[in-house]
Structure 1
């Protein structure tokens, strides 16, 4: 095999290795992006559930205080 043929094969191999590395890197980045998006959605849902719970508890507390005020004669 001539050195020119060997050099051509070497360049092809290097190019294929670079392409494979780039493809792998892009696949890894895509996976990270998907995990990040899923995590953000989960966090958003948890925050919404917590906010809804706080609002419900606040409403119930307000009703309880109002009822107590009526029983004590503070409100009609």
Structure 2
């Protein structure tokens, strides 16, 4: 094999390796982005659920205190 053809094969192999590394890097970044997006959606949903629960509990507590006040004669 001549030196020129060997050099050409070497360059092709290096180029293919760089392309593969770039493709792997992009695929990894895409996967990270998808995980981040899914995580953010899960966190947002958990926060909304917690907020809804707090609001419901606050409303129930207010009703209970109002009822207690009426029973004790503080409110009519």
Same fold (TM > 0.5): yes
Gaps spanning 5+ residues in structure 1: where? none
Report the TM-score when normalising by structure 2: 0.97
For the residues of structure 2 that align with 1:71 and 1:9, how far apart are their CA atoms?
A: 92
Query: Cα offset for 1:73?
Result: 0.9
TM-superposition CA deviations, 1:3-52 (whole Å, max 9, x none): 01110110011000000000011001100110110011001101110110
- The correspondence of residues 33-44 of structure 1 with structure 2, limited to 5 A, is 33-44=33-44
Match of 1:21 in 2: 21
Report the TM-score when normalising by structure 1: 0.97
Gaps spanning 5+ residues in structure 2: where? none
The runs of 4+ residues in structure 1 deviating greater than 6 Å are none
Verify: 1:64 aligned to 2:67, yes or no.
no
Match of 1:45 in 2: 45
Taking only aligned residues, the RMSD between alpha carbons, in angstroms, comes to: 0.6
For the residues of structure 2 that align with 1:24 and 1:61, how far apart are their CA atoms?
A: 55
